Amino acid sequence: MSDQKRTALVTGGNRGLGEAIAQALLDAGHEVIITHTPGNRKAADWVKGLAAQGIHLSAYGVDVSVYESVQELARKIHADGRQIDILVNNAGITRDATLRKLDKANWDLVLRTNLDSMFNVTKPFVEAMMERGWGRIINISSINGSKGQFGQTNYSAAKAGVHGFTMALAQEVARKGVTVNTVAPGYLATEMVAAVPEETLQRIVSGIPVGRLGEPAEIAALVTFIASDAAAFMTGSKVSMNGGQHMQ
């Protein structure tokens, strides 16, 4: 069966990797809905800019760390007569500090945003996917969820938990035509990475066998494949794309 036009929801879809994923899914012919942090003026301007170019997507301000905020999103989507076929759980934050210096507030914030959001965002949409007999859930983890990183006990713990969520849910929904997979990117050429000191950036790149940072579009192409009909036999997997920096 050839790919149909479907509706995709990409959390944190207004910048960096999320933006690249949203664009790739649009290019594949899907309708795309993105979320961004509430009150994010830059995100609203970005959506308007795309519309001026003839690229139309829907954007909602949502706090993915808050269950009721996501429930309201689901109500709005359903009220608009739309259904989510492809869900990309991409939203995430960092609040780095060594454990000695990490406070409880920043531990909780990262765990809620990066891990609790898996439950908050997936739960309102997965049952309908199962009823329709088709769905794709793609959870964005990180190289640091596999190998750890100095100063990121909160982030590494959350991103490791993402794949545990993936593997368990994949078993629950597999016979209903819904696949659940994890994508674990390495260091990418995004604003967040570009903001690190030059010396740190050089050290990161020197540890990547291919000798460069990854491009968000490369990860987005992988996500688009996993979201396709061609990937129907793939579920419960974690696919790493990190330039060889961490091989398993």
Helices assigned H by DSSP within the chain: 16-27, 41-52, 67-79, 104-111, 117-132, 144-147, 153-173, 191-194, 198-206, 216-226
Please tell me which residue in 60, 67, 155, 187 is annotated as part of the active site.
155
Work out whether the CA dihedral 154, 159, 125, 176 comes out positive or negative.
negative
Sheet of strand 135-140: strand arrangement:
58-61, 31-36, 7-10, 86-89, 135-140, 178-185, 238-241
Tell me, yes or no, if 67 is annotated catalytic. no
Instruction: Show the tokens assigned to 199.
Output: 């010396």
The catalytic residue positions are 155
